């Protein structure tokens, strides 16, 4: 049976289990494993207050090759000082022993509540019981979730090779990454430097164009592992097209699954002076709390759009600017022509509801 998730590319295995981090008893420990060494690329949060596993993985990814990603949910291992770094390294060390690979070939991530030490006895025991299999992708996707309401997975057949991805994220979502993890696998043959360049560009056009609540997380990361097992070395442009498609799909699904959300907001900006200003305007509109509330109430209020754009430094012609709001059952399209040029951009967000307040008011309780 053809795999449809993170294990769809040749040579990738995955798994997820519950090791007791989450009080709910839901899965909270995951692994992605490559049967052969893969090149790795990564993009990390721009937040200055980075979590321990982010700091560790920023060093680990400098290795020439990577074999695995170990990830836990329910505890972010952030604000945990020196011990947090030691615990992230212990996760790496334990995974290296279990999967019989070099510890330098493992990336580590955590997501969940900030400021609490990891329950390392549960995590170490969990890693020792963790199995990576070809049909374990769905369990892996489930085990990285926090306030998400559903898994986010995709596999793209590129004709000779495959690009697959899995992501988590629902709150603390804002450009320059979010409280999100995204893991991408491919069996294409590609150089590490090229993979890093293409990933950075894809992230700029996808994950950095979504917002749920304008709160930037401490634990964001996007990783790509390419193990070359298909034997296909694709053209750079062709690979990028597939990579961006995977990233955009997962980014949109994160916005759609925003905490308490009932509507995906799609913002289309045109008439900008250049692409940079088009993106700035699109992000400003998508991130406007007043606009998000208007979408929730299906309040046709173009003033929310004009105010959001006007508060930025982008060039606009007040006499030519045009806007519209198109409400659907589950999606709302926001259109804004700045009247200042020909550049376009698209951003994604979600409405603001009582559900968002409830989730975050009760987050620790």
| Separation of alpha carbons 91 and 189, rounded Å | 29
Containing structural domain, residue 288: 264-361
Asked if the structure places residue 227 within a domain, the reply is yes
Q: What is the CATH number of the domain that holds 349?
A: 3.10.20.340
Asked if the structure places residue 5 within a domain, the reply is no
360 appears as a binding residue in the annotation: yes
Do 251 and 335 reside in the same domain of the chain? Answer: no
Percent of the chain exceeding pLDDT 90 equals 82
233 appears as a binding residue in the annotation: no
Do 236 and 318 reside in the same domain of the chain? Answer: no
- Catalogue the E-assigned strands of 66-215: 66-75, 106-113, 152-157, 162-168, 181-186
Asked if the structure places residue 17 within a domain, the reply is yes
Q: In the chain, how many domains are there?
A: 2
**Is the distance from CB of 304 to CB of 290 less than 8 angstroms?**
yes
pLDDT, the chain, mean: 92
Mean pLDDT of 147-153: 87
**Is the distance from CB of 347 to CB of 209 less than 8 angstroms?**
yes
How much is the pLDDT for 175? 52
Under the banding of pLDDT at 50, 70 and 90, the label for residue 354 is: confident
**Is the distance from CB of 30 to CB of 16 less than 8 angstroms?**
yes
Do 22 and 153 reside in the same domain of the chain? Answer: yes
Better-scored residue on pLDDT, 238 or 174: 238
How much is the pLDDT for 220? 81
Active-site residue (options: 179, 185, 218, 353): 179
CA distances from residue 261 to 198, 212, 351 in whole angstroms, order as listed: 31, 9, 6
pLDDT of 177 higher than 90:
no
How much is the pLDDT for 217? 63
How much is the pLDDT for 178? 45
168 appears as a binding residue in the annotation: yes
Structure tokens belonging to residue 19: 């090791």
245 appears as a binding residue in the annotation: no
The reported pTM is: 0.91
Q: What is the pLDDT of residues 190-219, one digit of tens each?
A: 999 999 999 999 999 999 898 765 555 678
259 appears as a binding residue in the annotation: yes
pLDDT of 33 higher than 50:
yes
pLDDT of 3 higher than 90:
no
Active-site annotation holds for 179? yes
């Amino acid at each position: 049976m053809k795999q449809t998730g993170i294990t769809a590319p040749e040579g990738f295995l995955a798994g997820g289990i519950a090791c007791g981090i989450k009080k709910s008893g839901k899965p909270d420990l995951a692994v992605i494993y490559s049967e052969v060494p893969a090149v790795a690329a990564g993009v990390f949060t721009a937040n200055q207050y980075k979590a321990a596993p982010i700091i560790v993985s920023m060093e680990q990814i400098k290795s020439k090759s990577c074999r695995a990603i170990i990830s836990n949910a329910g505890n972010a291992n952030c604000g945990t000082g020196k011990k947090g770094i030691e615990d992230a390294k212990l996760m790496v060390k334990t995974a290296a022993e279990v999967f019989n690979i070099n510890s330098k070939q493992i990336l580590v991530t955590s997501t969940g509540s900030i400021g609490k030490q990891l329950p390392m006895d549960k995590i170490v025991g969990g890693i020792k019981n963790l199995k990576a299999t070809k049909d374990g992708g769905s369990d892996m996707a489930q085990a990285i979730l926090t306030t998400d309401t559903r898994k986010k997975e995709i596999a793209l057949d590129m004709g000779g090779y495959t690009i697959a991805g899995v992501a988590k994220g629902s709150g603390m979502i804002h450009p320059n990454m979010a409280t999100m993890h995204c893991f991408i696998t491919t069996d294409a043959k590609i150089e590490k430097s090229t993979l890093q360049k293409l990933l950075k560009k894809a992230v700029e056009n996808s994950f950095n164009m979504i917002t749920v609540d304008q709160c930037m997380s401490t634990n964001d990361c996007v990783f790509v592992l390419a193990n070359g097992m298909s034997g296909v070395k694709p053209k750079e442009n062709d690979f990028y097209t597939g990579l961006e498609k995977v990233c955009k799909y997962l980014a949109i699904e994160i916005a759609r699954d925003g905490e308490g959300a009932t509507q995906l907001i799609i913002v289309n900006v045109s008439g900008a002076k250049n692409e940079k200003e088009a993106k700035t305007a699109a992000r400003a509109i998508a991130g406007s709390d007043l606009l998000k509330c208007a979408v929730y109430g299906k309040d046709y209020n173009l003033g929310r759009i004009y105010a959001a754009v006007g508060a930025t430094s982008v060039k606009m012609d007040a006499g030519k600017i045009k806007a519209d709001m198109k409400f659907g059952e589950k999606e709302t399209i926001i259109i804004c022509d700045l009247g200042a040029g020909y550049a376009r951009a698209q951003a994604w967000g979600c409405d603001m509801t009582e559900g968002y307040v409830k989730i975050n008011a009760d987050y620790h309780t």
